[in-house]
């Protein structure tokens, strides 16, 4: 360990990028601190993203299978009844077991984990809830947050992000999903199978932006067969919160006339934005680009030589496994080894039924 620093490495953020980087660095012999705002490590992915969404996808798919396929398999008189509370409880158990595993790995590898807001105070120093800590190197792995529509704040009850959509207390009769990307399609399909009338509103002229268009058309037909309705080349110009329902004013792109749709819950799934608030990047001379991302070189180094950044806060797809690979590569580099991320071979998957995926160049 350095003579002048308490830790060899301080990682801000305990999501897939941060916890993987911390664990690998500790395994390579570095003394590591990891800090996160959540009491449970795992970041968005494990706590309110990938893991809980896959748990609900699995449960809702089994319900739909029992409703639609059992009779054809010769399994008669099965009339499944949704117990949403029990389904949500199972989801929480899956999340809890997963984050406990990360905590175990932190303890096993002698990583110091602290809960709190981290603020940069110098090239080798940060404060955590007012307490100053020093480290030879610092890694920013603070991830991203859901992007909101201008003038429409999340209340996570009626106007929800992915976080709220994973914890609704009742099945909404009508669910409007704004955005036909990965999050919108996965959670839209979950709530459709659980009984909602789901309408997906997408500004672009096709679903799953960034994926193959030809396959996307087949993919859309499969989701329409499930019962999802799509309004493509359509934008939402206003959402009014009425007493009994939400009123969405929608408009075809390039057209002047508008119409109104009603929904009980609106899921805003228009993307995510890098989360760097509170870090005080300007203190160490780090600027962000027009998208709010932190520029780095080929070795994840920021404009401050002792500070690095990985995952959703830098350029590239906002994917947990991309962040993990960057965390591994950076940890190896900091330990004096060679680390590399094969960016041309990063898969992207929509975990609907059927699954829709891509990898490599188009």
* 165-194 tens-digit pLDDT: 999 999 999 999 999 999 999 999 999 999
Query: Do residues 293 and 313 make contact, with C-beta atoms less than 8 angstroms apart?
Result: yes
Q: How many whole angstroms separate alpha carbon 24 and alpha carbon 19?
A: 9
Per the structure block, which two tokens stand in for 236? Answer: 């939402």
Using one digit for the tens of pLDDT, what is the confidence trace for 137-159?
A: 999 999 999 999 998 999 999 99
Whether 1 has a pLDDT exceeding 60, the answer reads no
| CB neighbour list of residue 150: distance below 8 Å, 6 or more residues apart | none
Whether 279 has a pLDDT exceeding 70, the answer reads yes
Confidence band of 242 (pLDDT split at 50, 70, 90): confident
Q: Give first-to-last CA distance, the chain, whole Å.
A: 46
* DSSP reduced 3-state for 53: helix
Q: How many whole angstroms separate alpha carbon 316 and alpha carbon 203?
A: 22
Confidence band of 244 (pLDDT split at 50, 70, 90): confident
Confidence band of 241 (pLDDT split at 50, 70, 90): confident
* Phi, psi of 122, deg, nearest 5: 180, 175
Q: What is this structure's pTM?
A: 0.96
Q: Tell me how far CA of residue 45 lies from CA of 60, 79, 101, 304, 311, in angstroms.
A: 20, 34, 14, 28, 12
Whether 300 has a pLDDT exceeding 70, the answer reads yes
* E strand map for 50-117: 112-115
pLDDT score at 4: 81
Residue 303 CA neighbour count, 13 Å, CB half: 12
Architecture of domain 7-146+273-346 in this structure: 3-Layer(bba) Sandwich (3.50)
Q: How many whole angstroms separate alpha carbon 282 and alpha carbon 298?
A: 22
Average pLDDT over residues 41-58: 97
Fold of 159-270: FAD/NAD(P)-binding domain (3.50.50)
pLDDT score at 3: 56
Q: Of 308, 314, 303, which Cα lies nearest the Cα of 343? A: 314
| CB neighbour list of residue 88: distance below 8 Å, 6 or more residues apart | 167
* DSSP reduced 3-state for 77: coil
Per the structure block, which two tokens stand in for 120? Answer: 């940069």
For the chain, residues classed under CATH 3.50.50.60 are 7-146+273-346, 159-270
């Amino acid at each position: 360990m350095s003579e002048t620093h308490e830790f060899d490495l301080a990682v801000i953020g305990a999501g897939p990028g941060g916890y993987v980087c911390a664990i690998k660095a500790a395994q390579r012999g570095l003394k590591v601190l990891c800090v996160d705002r959540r009491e449970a490590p795992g970041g968005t992915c494990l706590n309110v993203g990938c893991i809980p969404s896959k748990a609900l996808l699995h449960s809702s798919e089994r319900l739909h299978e029992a409703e639609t396929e059992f009779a054809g398999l010769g399994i008669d008189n099965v009339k499944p009844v949704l117990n949403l509370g029990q389904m949500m409880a199972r989801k929480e158990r899956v999340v809890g077991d997963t984050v406990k595993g990360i905590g175990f790995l932190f303890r096993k590898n002698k990583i110091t984990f602290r809960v709190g807001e981290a603020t940069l105070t110098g090239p080798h120093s940060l404060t955590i809830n007012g307490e100053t800590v020093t480290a030879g190197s610092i890694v920013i792995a603070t991830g991203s947050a859901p992007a909101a529509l201008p003038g429409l704040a999340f209340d996570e009850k009626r106007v929800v992000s992915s976080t709220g959509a994973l914890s609704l207390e009742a099945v909404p009769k009508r669910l409007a999903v704004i955005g036909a990307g990965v999050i919108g399609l996965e959670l839209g399909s979950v709530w459709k199978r659980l009984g909602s009338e789901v309408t997906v509103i997408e500004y672009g002229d096709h679903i799953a932006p960034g994926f193959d268009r030809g396959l996307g058309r087949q993919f859309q037909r499969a989701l329409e067969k499930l019962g999802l309705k799509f309004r493509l080349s359509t934008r939402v110009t206003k959402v009014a919160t009425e007493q009994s329902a939400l009123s969405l004013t929608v408009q075809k792109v390039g057209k002047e006339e508008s119409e109104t749709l009603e929904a009980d819950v609106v899921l805003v799934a228009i993307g995510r934005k890098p989360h760097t608030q509170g870090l005080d990047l300007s203190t160490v001379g780090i600027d962000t680009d027009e998208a709010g991302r932190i520029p780095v070189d080929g070795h994840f180094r920021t404009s401050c030589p002792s500070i690095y950044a990985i995952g959703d806060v830098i350029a590239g797809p906002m994917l947990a496994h991309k962040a993990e690979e960057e965390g591994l590569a950076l940890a190896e580099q900091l330990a004096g080894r060679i680390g590399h991320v094969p960016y041309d071979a990063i898969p992207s998957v929509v975990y609907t039924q059927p699954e829709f995926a891509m990898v490599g160049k188009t």
